[in-house]
Amino acid sequence: MRFFLLCSLVLFAAASFGQRNCGSMDYAGRNGITHLYNNNSLPAQSHRDTVTNEILTVPVVFHILYNNSSQNISTAQILSQLKVLNDDFRRMNQDASQTPAAFRPAAADCRIMFCLAQVDPRGRPSSGIIRRQTSRQSFTYDDAMKFTAAGGDDAWDSRKYLNVWICNMQGGSLGYATPPGSPADKDGVVIQFNAFGTIGNLQANFNKGRTTTHEVAHWMGLKHIWGDATCGDDGIYDTPQQEYYHNGCPSFPQMSACSPNNNGDMYMNFMDYTHDACMNLFTHGQKVKMRGVFAVNGPRNSFLFSFACDSTLATGAPLPQDTTTIINDSTTSIMVEKDWMVYPNPVLSSIYLQGINGYELKGQSVTIFSMTGTLLHRIQLNSSNPTVNLSFLKPGVYLIRVGEGKMIKQRKIIKT
Ligand SMILES: [Zn+2]
């Protein structure tokens, strides 16, 4: 008992004295996936590369796991975190001006943005926020928060969504991330509920949303700036070598055993361990590394084909396994004007059409267009509940139209 109390006190002390405790490297070590941080190449997943300076948009789903009401954080708190991500990865953070002059030329706008997922994996409208009460009082690095059966919440398709689980972590850990190439059902970021966003009841030194910025950067393949070894290498050309991590809120310059010049360590980099208020940049080299995971053949290339930020893609169509249809839900105004459904969306091979509210599909023409307006396919429907085989289409977004002339009705569909 005494030993247990002592251990608890030590952990409590580590957290309360404000030392950052990121579990990503510990997690990677335990799971034998440390090498993934050095590997930007996986089997080809798609057909498009990133374009220079294209703004990459990552759909995010937040899984809020709460054991008590204080852990069921407000939507405003969640939105405050989303804003921090968008500011930090665009170098639009207010404290960008705090970057020491010597390091300002290295600071980069990563041109990566984040949205709340507007469409769920089944093509239905979504807020991008899931709230689930759990009987677990706290979680550890065992990934239980990622599985509904273990008291967590299952990941959404991690090829198209960044999963962020917000929960109560044991022992003062602020969070951890999986590197690119991790198992799909565990892929994402875990954040301590009171080190998340900028409003709400937050830990004193971790109240500016930088824990999530740091962990999402791990998720995009970045290592800690000191390379997780004494005078280690983070694999980034423009982050100076430094002996170890910095805590608290240092002042410029900070020299250490292997500082390459008088500018010393880049302790204000998002990948060091300083307080939220004292970190403010990613470098050009870190930008290149992170954008690389989205490039063609990169492990997160599939995100270039995720359209989950586009709410117009949500058809609201009931899936075959659904027992209740959304069209009977009077609160779902999106369905009022609709008289036909198309599902599943996204579609793998065949898509089903169904007329509703008395709308007859039999005899109508169906056409498939590319998003640039090229006609790709035309058939005449000979059934009221037809199936259309789309296996010939490459993955991407298309328009499916029913009818002719002024009577055309259309939907966007995603082919996976
Ligand atoms: Zn970390």
Active-site choice (215, 337, 360, 404): 215
Q: Is the pLDDT of residue 377 over 50?
A: yes
Give CA–CA dist 375/369, Å, rounded: 5
Averaged pLDDT, 7-18? 44
Centroid of ligand 1 to alpha carbon of 218 (angstroms):
7
C-alpha angle 33/130/336, rounded to 5°?
Answer: 130
What integer pLDDT is reported at residue 42 of this predicted model? 52
Sequence-ordered list of residues with C-beta below 8 angstroms from that of 130, at least 6 positions apart, any chain: 61, 62, 63, 64, 153
Question: Does residue 327 have a pLDDT over 50?
Answer: no
**CA distance readout (Å), 227 to 41, 243, 324:** 20, 9, 52
CA-CA-CA-CA torsion for 120, 127, 213, 194, nearest 10 degrees?
-120
* Residue ranges covered by each domain of the chain: 20-305, 315-415
250-268 mean pLDDT: 96
State how far the Cα of 248 lies from the Cα of 19, in Å rounded to an integer.
Answer: 7
Question: What architecture (CATH level 2) is domain 315-415?
Answer: Sandwich (2.60)
Quote the pLDDT of residue 201.
Answer: 96
C-alpha 339 – ligand 1 centre gap (Å): 50
**pTM, rounded to two decimals:** 0.76
Is 215 tagged catalytic? yes
Residue 1 confidence class, pLDDT cut points 50, 70, 90 = very low
CA 219 to ligand 1 centroid distance, Å: 10
Nearest to 166 by CA among 187, 152, 184, 147: 152
How does residue 365 score in pLDDT terms, banded at 50, 70 and 90? confident
Minimum mean pLDDT range among 23-37, 60-74, 197-211, 273-287? 23-37
Q: Mean of the per-residue pLDDT values for the chain? A: 85
The reported pLDDT for the residue numbered 252 is 98
3-class DSSP assignment, residue 412 = strand
Query: What is the per-residue pLDDT for 6?
Result: 40
Specify whether the CB–CB gap between 18 and 275 falls below 8 A.
Answer: yes
3-class DSSP state for residue 286? Answer: helix
Domain 20-305 has CATH 3.40.390.10: yes
Determine the Cα–Cα distance for residues 330 and 390; give it in Å rounded to an integer: 32
pLDDT digits (tens, 9 = 90+) for 163-193: 999 999 998 899 999 999 999 999 999 999 9
Total residue count of the chain as it appears in this document: 416
Segment 390-408, tens digit of pLDDT: 888 888 878 788 877 656 6
- Between the CA of 25 and the centroid of ligand 1 the distance, in Å, is 7
Residue 123 DSSP SS3: coil
Q: What are phi and psi of 284, to 5 degrees?
A: -60, -40
CA of 213 to the centre of ligand 1 (A): 10
Q: Which residue has the tokens 């980069």?
A: 108
Neighbours of ion ligand 1 (CB under 5 A): 22, 24
Segment 101-128 shows an average pLDDT of: 93
